[in-house]
Structure 1
Amino acid sequence: MTDATIHHLTFGKIAAQISTMGAECIALKKNGLEYLWQANPDIWGRHAPVLFPIVGKLKDNKYTYQGKSYTMGQHGFARDRNFELTEKTDHQLTMVLKADEISKKVYPFDFELSIQYSLSENGLNVDYHVHNPSEEKTLFFSIGAHPGFGCPLEPEKESFSDYQLDFAHENLTSLPLYTLEGGLISTKKSTLALQEGKVDLDYKLFENDALIMDVGPVTAVSVSSRKTGKGFAMQFSDFKWLGIWTKEKEANFICLEPWNGIAATTDHDGSLENKLGIVELAPQANHKAGFQVALLG
């Protein structure tokens, strides 16, 4: 595996850094203030990993396809592979990962995954493009994002509990949630209570792991400080699920995670084709999905 290269993008007051390792955004600043979590290895050692070709955890970290068993860790392998830069301007770049002998040991498919990052005056746009190059074989996959943001953005001035989630629906009083059991989707459900579409952040919200919800009732969310007004907002209507996650005990970050895919269910039979959230992509077909991050304040 070759060493990663860091590429810099700028647009007005916005600046970003993208690593070829995992095609991961590792810095995102506005007016010099860092909005992206800086991967403290003692808490959570990643910034904004790309989740492919699965999202979440597999039952026993295994799946079957055409009678053969494969092992794959949580969130797949793309986040730990070096991508190839194929296009770059001052404010935009594209990176590509293709199937090879290494990937086929754990994932027996041809694929081409292209990720485009582009800056705007408000923030960052991220677009995923999955192409199935096979002329006869269906591609089974999931894809998602896992960006972490500083929360609080300015720890010397504020705390996690000074921030608020806002789903931009004033009449929304609650959201149904999936629950996790050992990292897998349980048959149990829970509810996130809201007041006028909002909820104050509290580490207790994450005592049972991530908040996972369907996209549809909501297609956007913002996280902002009631003290400074600074924060970040995400629009994710191209995706089916949203995960919101942090670690407990003063982790000082929060992840907003749009997914086309989800962890396996506790009763999954192991078959990749039958997995909840799997995308079936016909030969020569394309799957496109993107999300937008606005930096507030």
Structure 2
Amino acid sequence: MAKNLKEMLARKLAENNQRHRESSQEAEFEEGRQHVRLALGVIDPNPYQPRRSFPLDELNSLASSIAEAGLLQPITVRRHEDRYQLIAGERRLKAHELLGKTSIEAIVVPSADADLAVLALAENIDRQDLADFEIGLALRRIESLFPSKKKLAESLGLNREDMYRYFAFEALPPRLRSRLEKAPRLLARSAATELKRLLEQTPASVELDAALDQAWDCLEQGQLEQGKLAAFVARQLAQPEVSRPLPSPRQAWKLARDGQQVGSMSRDDKHVILKLKAGVLSDDEIHQLEQFVSQLLSHEV
């Protein structure tokens, strides 16, 4: 699916570029042909960058390649007020920073926000597959650039059903999405869709939270395949609760005086309860009872 999405985005980008070339807007330079060298300090990040992480080992490898062979492809930017905004090439830009360089070759092109977002997606999918989680976040960020989800799907060449699979990650609890931010390739959209379906059918509970956390721990440790994540959680919830011993039945005795019941005494696992009718004991007898109980508790009798 990532390959298909890449092709769809590439077609969309080609259409956008063709529309720009055919437009009659005035510009200070030949559109898409201004090849310049820019100071790194005047280039701002792409606000629609879909990639969540840039592994240092990959950046170091790219930096080594640039140091040895030079920059084979300039980055692409657009003018943004009195600065420039990155369209494509953030890894190349970061590699230049690692090398301590102060400037970089760039091609300046005019670009609308929607084109900026589409190109960022296309470049990342082309160079190194984005995780489905990252694509889903990127789609949400560019959603406001289109009048409706239908138009967003159409602009990318996706049907809405396919697009909504990328949104399945939103059903995960925030704590799991936070962990996914650090390892976005851990869960694909198909597994996320299955888990979303389970969460929609299962009432929130402490048991569900515990099962999700246990499943995610196993997933991160490589002990559980992502395609089996939802089934694992379902099995954990289906296990019978550990039987608990029933409390001992309450034992009770009737208390009588002169053949008449005047109260009761009972005990269970937690309490010993003495109940007497008011007026059965005189003040002196109540005092004697208090002394007896005190002596009993202090082991004096």
Range of TM-score over shorter length: under 0.3
Say which one has the larger Rg: 2
TM-score under structure 1 length normalisation: 0.24
TM-score between the two structures when normalised by the length of structure 2: 0.23
Question: Higher strand fraction: Structure 1 or Structure 2?
Answer: 1
**Bigger relative CO (Cα 8 Å, ≥ 6 apart):** 1
More helix by share: 2
